[in-house]
């Protein structure tokens, strides 16, 4: 594959450039601004912090009644029974008796920050990136943190067959709020932004021409494009890195080729049982790796989904309906899929459901009989795996990012509250702070863009520019 | 799970049904480890006896006589059937297509004459759905979204016809003070000021209509001179019917309430101003910024039909708070938590879930239970029939296998008018 446009946007370069360009128009900000690079590169000399005597939900192992977790340098360096974990001598030790600690929640399907990828010009726009439209000042990010979320797959909408590239983000809203989207990206080992490809079928992606009017046309249009992408890919292979023989760059084709190569997971909106089977059929024809999203009627074809080894990221809504294809939605979906052997994660679809209540989705699945541990995994590790990030996040495991939530009780109880959310070893939400409480509880200004947006223009009575 | 003890009674009932023999239902007795009466007390190990459609006894299990032949149900927690103080279920349908969406008519901004009774579908799936979680009474009707969208009604969540379900017809008229009521271009209303001007003009017209109505019903003694026969004849003519003004005159006469959907603080203030000018009873509906207007709402003596706790915090609800219910409660303002109207998903909200979130965010537990039982019943004026477990009230019950507000508890039975209408495990 040729160079991805993001290849040149290495993290350090982009964040430093962003900070510099901001400072040019906003000199007073500079002194108080934390260099963005420290956000993603915690220094190895960090003092370790240990939480002891907590109820731990490691997710990849059974719950621990009295456990300890030690973090350093943004990573988890030890986890286990309190008495069996060696706490480093220089560690800051926090007695977390009565608290529950679980991995930071992972939402595999969120729209916080906007949905501005594909436009109305065409139903298939795989080259368009949500990355270029995200408003990092959206207060939804802070609200999500108050619900214990640490990672989001931010997706374009479902009004297209292919609405563009999604982006995996880490809620690095600690110390100071991010100023540019680059600061919240999750990058791969080459420094590239990670993300998937959003697709949809059923009624949302139908419309007036050039959009399809039927399900048959929808599938046809998608197949046509993937066949084109195969031919595009063949030309690149045939060129054998001879630049003169390469076809002209085509962003749409590049994106579809990445999907077929497994470099870009397809996140596919689908509701009705027959639409689900269509997704499976197309995935198998073109070999893209797919996560089924919403999957309202998944319970009707659970066996088939399991046989196709296709994970499901499901939504839990308080009632069925709103459109014909969601009429048979049920709290039992998670249980039925899990029992059939399907990997199940939950998602908020924020603002369809509120990220602050994400744990409630798993709780309602448990209400309908889903295994408790599987439901907790559905908020964490299963989601991480569906984003291809299972080796980095999603469980309290040594070596993984120190992303976790501290609660005052069982995450599946309505009465439990997230007290703190930690991202890469840094506290990004603290319920005891009034400024964080605002986002947890709501109230005047809770829905407004975050404060830094006004950094350069704040009136004198607010203390001038920050 | 609920399990009838008196199998004989059930068998007889089954026989009666299969043979079409009309006979009295056996009494229904529900025994629970905890009875949340919403009447000021919680009974540990309580029994509620229902004969026909009324509650006839309530007290400690063992101290209350169980009638012979009674059907006995058991559960962990028993509550009064829930009352949803504001929904559009039954007018707004599960598919959300034109054919099942009768909650909002856009042909004119002011249509108080539209009756919910002519639009309500008692067999709507969403009505069954909320009933299966314990909701037995709904105040439903025309939706927010037009300046005055139409009337509401109160019904039980049963019945093949609205006549079987109806408790109160034309309980309120729904109005909306919001950006959503404004039109674009040259159509009116186009601004908040114009919305109020149109409402005031309409109420002034209704006042004049009401004056004529009163004059007709209290004719002055015949005068001996000054009027010819023609004039006298004219006075005897009935006032021309006017469905719009008749419905508004009912508000002026205190027979109906004006339900005003208003989320922004300035719209809440406008609603209160309107109530004071025309001396009418209003209910503040949704009221996302009510937490910013506590003293004003308190002083005006207005009740709040609070938005669902989980309503989306966006648009005119961007400043809403999970703590609004607890703040209204602390201030002593009458309020109830509503299921509300949803234009998309979830197509209907379950008040049980909404009260639970309020309880998790500072609202006292008993107040949370009351916010979906006796409080809405009082606001709606049906507290003599529903909303709490008391002798003489309708036998409307909701049975749970644990704390009704907890996420993982199930509703295991619902009783309306003394009959089990749902035994699903929800």
**CATH number, domain containing residue B336:** 3.20.20.140
Q: What angle do CA B398, B404, B410 make, to 5 degrees?
A: 80
- What SS3 state is found at B415? strand
- Residue whose entry in the numeric block shows the structure tokens 């990670």: A194
Interface mutation target, options B131, B288, B346, B403, chain A, most CBs of A under 10 Å: B346
Q: Are strands A92-95 and A149-154 parallel, antiparallel or unpaired?
A: unpaired
Q: Considering only alpha carbons, which residue of chain A is nearest residue B318?
A: A447
Dist. CA B254–CA B421, nearest whole Å: 35
Nearest alpha carbon to residue A393 among A170, A78, A203: A170
Q: Of A143, A320, A413, which is closest to B94 when you measure between CB atoms? A: A320
Burial of A228 (0-12, 13-18, 19+ CB in 10 A): middle
Extract the tokens encoding A181.
């989207």
Question: Could you tell me the residue ranges of all domains in chain A?
Answer: 105-386
Establish if B397 belongs to a structural domain: no
B86/B76 same-domain check: no
Extract the tokens encoding B334.
């009458």
Read off the pLDDT of residues B152-199 as tens digits, 9 standing for 90 and up: 999 999 999 999 999 999 999 999 999 999 999 999 999 999 999 999
**Cβ separation of B356 and A414 shorter than 8 Å?**
yes
Domain count, chain B: 2
| B96: CB partners within 8 A, 6+ apart | A321, A322, A323, B343, B344, B347
pLDDT band at B19 (very low <50, low <70, confident <90, very high): very low
Q: Considering only alpha carbons, which residue of chain B is nearest residue A352?
A: B345
Strands (E), A136-276: 149-154, 162-165, 167-170, 197-200, 266-270
What CATH class is the domain A105-386?
alpha beta
Residue A415 with chain B: CB contacts under 8 Å:
359-360, 406
Nearest alpha carbon to residue A250 among A273, A225, A275: A225
Torsion of CA A206, A208, A210, A211, to 10 degrees: -10
B166/B297 same-domain check: yes
The A-side interface with B (CB below 8 A) comprises 143, 317-324, 326-327, 351-354, 357, 360, 363-364, 366-367, 412-415, 417, 441-448
Residue A444 with chain B: CB contacts under 8 Å:
289, 292, 319
- The residues facing A170 across adjacent strands are A151
- The residues facing B141 across adjacent strands are B152
B68/B88 same-domain check: no
Q: Of A354, A443, A446, which is closest to B310 when you measure between CB atoms? A: A354
**Cβ separation of B314 and A363 shorter than 8 Å?**
no
* Helix, strand, coil percentages for chain B (3-state, nearest 5): 30, 25, 45
- In eight-state DSSP terms, residue B314 is -
Establish if B225 belongs to a structural domain: no
B25/B69 same-domain check: yes
Establish if B391 belongs to a structural domain: no
B194/B315 same-domain check: yes
pLDDT at A428: 98
Residue B424 with chain A: CB contacts under 8 Å:
none
pLDDT at A29: 33
Q: What Cα–Cα distance (Å) separates residue B400 from each residue in A370, B381, B390, B424? A: 19, 27, 19, 11
Dist. CA A462–CA A164, nearest whole Å: 40
pLDDT at A449: 84
**Cβ separation of B360 and A327 shorter than 8 Å?**
no
| DSSP-derived secondary structure for A119-132 | -TT-SB-TT-BGGG
Q: What Cα–Cα distance (Å) separates residue A92 from each residue in A51, A360, A402? A: 9, 32, 15
**Cβ separation of B126 and A352 shorter than 8 Å?**
no
Q: Are B164 and B114 within 8 A, CB to CB?
A: no
Phi-psi bin for A287: left (phi > 0), alpha (psi -120 to 50), beta?
left
- In eight-state DSSP terms, residue B89 is B
| DSSP-derived secondary structure for A36-98 | THHHH---TTPPPEEEEEEEE--SSS--EEEEEEEEETTEEEEEEEGGGSPPPTT-EEEE-TT
B144/B266 same-domain check: yes
Q: Are strands B257-262 and B166-176 parallel, antiparallel or unpaired?
A: parallel
Sheet holding B411-416, edge to edge: B54-60, B42-51, B28-36, B71-80, B397-400, B411-416, B419-422
B66/B132 same-domain check: no
Interface mutation target, options B135, B265, B310, B345, chain A, most CBs of A under 10 Å: B345
**Cβ separation of A323 and B323 shorter than 8 Å?**
no
Please count the residues of chain B. Answer: 426
Residue B151: domain span: 82-202+241-386
**Cβ separation of B94 and A327 shorter than 8 Å?**
yes
B64/B160 same-domain check: no
Burial of B246 (0-12, 13-18, 19+ CB in 10 A): middle
Dist. CA B138–CA B347, nearest whole Å: 15
Q: What Cα–Cα distance (Å) separates residue A71 from each residue in A52, A165, B7, B408? A: 12, 33, 62, 33
pLDDT in tens, chain A (466 residues): 343 433 333 333 233 333 333 333 333 333 333 334 444 444 556 899 999 999 999 999 999 999 999 999 999 999 999 999 999 999 999 999 999 999 999 999 999 998 889 999 999 999 999 999 999 999 999 999 999 999 999 999 999 999 999 999 999 999 888 999 999 999 999 999 999 999 999 999 999 999 999 999 999 999 999 999 999 999 999 999 899 999 999 999 999 999 999 999 999 999 999 999 999 999 999 999 999 999 999 999 999 999 999 999 999 999 999 999 999 999 999 999 999 999 999 999 999 999 999 999 999 999 999 999 999 999 999 999 999 999 999 999 999 999 999 999 999 999 999 999 999 999 999 999 999 999 999 999 998 887 543 444 444 444 444 3
B17/B93 same-domain check: no
Say which residue, B246 or A28, is predicted with more confidence.
B246
Dist. CA B422–CA B415, nearest whole Å: 7
B171/B37 same-domain check: no
| B157: CB partners within 8 A, 6+ apart | B127, B128, B130, B131, B135, B136, B137, B138, B165, B416, B421
Nearest alpha carbon to residue A7 among A220, A211, A191: A191
Count the neighbouring beta carbons within 10 Å of the beta carbon of residue B343.
Answer: 15
Q: Considering only alpha carbons, which residue of chain A is nearest residue B264?
A: A444
B292/B340 same-domain check: yes
Read off the pLDDT of residues B273-303 as tens digits, 9 standing for 90 and up: 999 999 999 999 999 999 999 999 999 999 9
Read off the pLDDT of residues B69-90 as tens digits, 9 standing for 90 and up: 999 999 999 999 999 999 999 9
B72/B96 same-domain check: no
Mean pLDDT along residues B340-346: 96
- In eight-state DSSP terms, residue A8 is G
pLDDT at A458: 43
Extract the tokens encoding A154.
């931010």
**Cβ separation of A414 and B359 shorter than 8 Å?**
yes
Establish if B196 belongs to a structural domain: yes
- The residues facing A197 across adjacent strands are A165, A266
């Amino acid at each position: 594959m040729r160079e991805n446009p993001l290849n040149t946007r290495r993290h350090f370069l982009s964040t430093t450039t962003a900070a510099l360009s901001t400072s040019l128009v906003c000199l007073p900000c500079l002194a108080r601004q934390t260099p963005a690079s420290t956000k993603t590169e915690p220094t190895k000399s960090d003092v370790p912090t240990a939480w002891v005597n907590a109820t731990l939900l490691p997710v990849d192992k059974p719950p621990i009644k009295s456990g300890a977790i030690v973090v350093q340098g943004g990573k988890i360096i030890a986890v286990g029974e309190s008495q069996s974990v060696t706490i480093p001598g220089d560690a800051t030790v926090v007695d977390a008796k009565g608290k529950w600690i679980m991995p930071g929640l992972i939402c595999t399907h969120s729209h916080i920050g906007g949905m501005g990828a594909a436009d109305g010009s065409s139903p298939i726009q795989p080259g368009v990136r949500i990355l270029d439209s995200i408003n990092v000042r959206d207060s939804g990010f802070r609200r999500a943190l108050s619900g214990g979320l640490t990672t989001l797959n931010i997706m374009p909408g479902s009004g297209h067959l292919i609405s563009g590239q999604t982006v995996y983000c880490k809620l690095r809203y600690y110390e100071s709020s991010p100023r540019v989207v680059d600061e919240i990206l999750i990058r791969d080992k080459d420094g590239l932004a990670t993300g998937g490809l959003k697709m949809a079928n059923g009624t949302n992606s139908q419309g007036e021409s050039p959009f399809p009017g039927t399900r048959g046309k929808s599938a046809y249009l998608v197949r046509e494009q993937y066949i084109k992408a195969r031919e595009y890919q063949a030309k690149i292979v045939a060129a054998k890195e001879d630049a003169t023989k390469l076809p002209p760059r085509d962003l749409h084709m590049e994106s579809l080729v990445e999907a077929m190569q497994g470099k870009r997971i397809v996140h596919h909106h689908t509701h009705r049982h027959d639409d689900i089977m269509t997704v499976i059929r197309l995935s198998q024809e073109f070999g893209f790796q797919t996560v089924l999203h919403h999957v309202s009627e998944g319970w009707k074809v659970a066996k088939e989904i399991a046989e196709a080894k296709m994970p499901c990221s499901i939504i839990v809504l308080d009632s069925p309906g709103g459109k014909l294809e969601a009429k048979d939605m049920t709290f039992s979906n998670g249980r039925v899929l899990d029992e059939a052997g399907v990997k199940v994660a939950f998602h908020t679809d924020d603002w369809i459901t509120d990220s602050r209540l994400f744990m409630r989705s798993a709780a309602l699945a448990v209400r309908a009989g889903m295994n408790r541990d599987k439901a907790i995994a559905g908020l964490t590790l299963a989601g991480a795996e569906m984003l291809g990030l299972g080796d980095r996040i999603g469980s309290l495991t040594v070596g993984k990012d120190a992303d976790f939530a501290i609660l005052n009780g069982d995450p599946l109880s309505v009465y439990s509250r997230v007290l703190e959310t930690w991202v890469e070893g840094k506290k990004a939400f603290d319920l005891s702070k009034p400024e964080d409480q605002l986002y947890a509880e709501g109230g005047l200004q809770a829905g407004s863009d975050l404060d830094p947006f006004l950094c350069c223009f704040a009136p004198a009575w607010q203390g001038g520019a920050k | 799970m609920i399990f009838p003890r008196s199998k004989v009674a059930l068998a007889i009932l089954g026989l009666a049904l299969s043979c079409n023999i009309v006979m009295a239902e056996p009494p229904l007795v529900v025994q629970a480890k905890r009875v949340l009466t919403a009447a000021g007390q919680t009974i540990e190990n309580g029994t509620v006896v229902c004969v026909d459609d009324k509650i006839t006894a309530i007290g400690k299990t063992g101290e209350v006589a169980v009638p012979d032949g009674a059907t006995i149900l058991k559960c962990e927690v028993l509550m009064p059937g829930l009352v949803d103080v504001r929904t559009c279920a039954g007018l707004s349908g599960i598919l959300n297509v034109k054919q099942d969406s009768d909650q909002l008519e856009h042909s004119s901004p002011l249509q108080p004459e539209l009756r919910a009774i002519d639009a309500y579908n008692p067999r709507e799936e969403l009505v069954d759905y909320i009933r299966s979680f314990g909701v037995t009474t709904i105040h439903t009707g025309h939706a927010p979204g037009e300046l005055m969208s139409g009337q509401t009604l109160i019904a039980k969540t049963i019945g093949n016809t609205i006549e079987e379900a109806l408790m109160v017809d034309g309980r309120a008229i729904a109005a909306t003070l919001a950006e959503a009521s404004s039109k674009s271009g040259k159509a009116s209303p186009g601004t908040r000021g114009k919305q109020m001007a149109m409402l005031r003009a309409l109420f002034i017209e209704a006042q004049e209509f009401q004056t004529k109505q009163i004059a007709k019903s209290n004719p002055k003694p015949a005068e001996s001179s000054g009027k010819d026969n023609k004039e006298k004849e004219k006075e005897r003519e009935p006032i021309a019917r006017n469905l719009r003004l008749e419905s508004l005159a009912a508000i002026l006469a205190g027979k109906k309430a004006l339900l005003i959907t208003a989320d922004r603080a300035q719209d809440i203030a406008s609603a209160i101003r309107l109530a004071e000018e025309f001396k009418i009873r209003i209910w503040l509906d949704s009221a996302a910024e009510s937490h910013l207007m506590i003293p004003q709402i308190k002083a005006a003596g207005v009740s709040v039909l609070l938005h669902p706790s989980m309503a989306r915090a966006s648009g005119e609800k961007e400043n809403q708070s999970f703590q609004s219910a607890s703040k209204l409660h602390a201030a002593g303002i009458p309020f109830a938590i509503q299921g509300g109207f949803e234009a998309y998903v979830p197509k209907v909200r379950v008040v049980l879930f909404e009260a639970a979130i309020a309880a998790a965010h500072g609202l006292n537990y008993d107040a949370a239970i009351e916010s979906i039982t006796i409080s809405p019943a009082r606001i709606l004026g049906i507290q003599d029939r529903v909303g709490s477990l008391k002798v003489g009230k309708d036998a409307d019950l909701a049975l749970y296998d644990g704390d009704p507000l907890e996420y993982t508890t199930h509703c295991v039975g619902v009783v309306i008018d003394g009959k089990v209408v749902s035994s699903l495990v929800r």
